[in-house]
Amino acid sequence: MPETIASVFIKEAIEKKERILYGKIHGEVDRSIFEYVLSFTKENQSEASRILGITRLTFRKRLRY
């Protein structure tokens, strides 16, 4: 089975015996997706948010965390 971004984060978190995995993994995966789309749009947050189907405000809030 090919490794996904989420599976890599899950393995690392389990090995470190971390808790609250969902929140941490969700945040890391979101950040990876947002950074990739932002790079694709040459840092244009409005275009990135349109591609992701969310508002620019939501995009900015989630990118911060």
If one compares 56 and 21, the residue with the highest pLDDT of the two is 56
**Quick one: pLDDT band at residue 51, thresholds 50, 70, 90?**
very high
pTM (2 decimals)? 0.67
What domains are there in the chain, each with its CATH number?
5-64 (1.10.10.60)
pLDDT at 2: 64
When pLDDT is averaged across residues 10-37 and rounded to a whole number, the result is 84
Question: Using CA atoms, how far apart are residues 47 and 20, in angstroms rounded to an integer?
Answer: 32
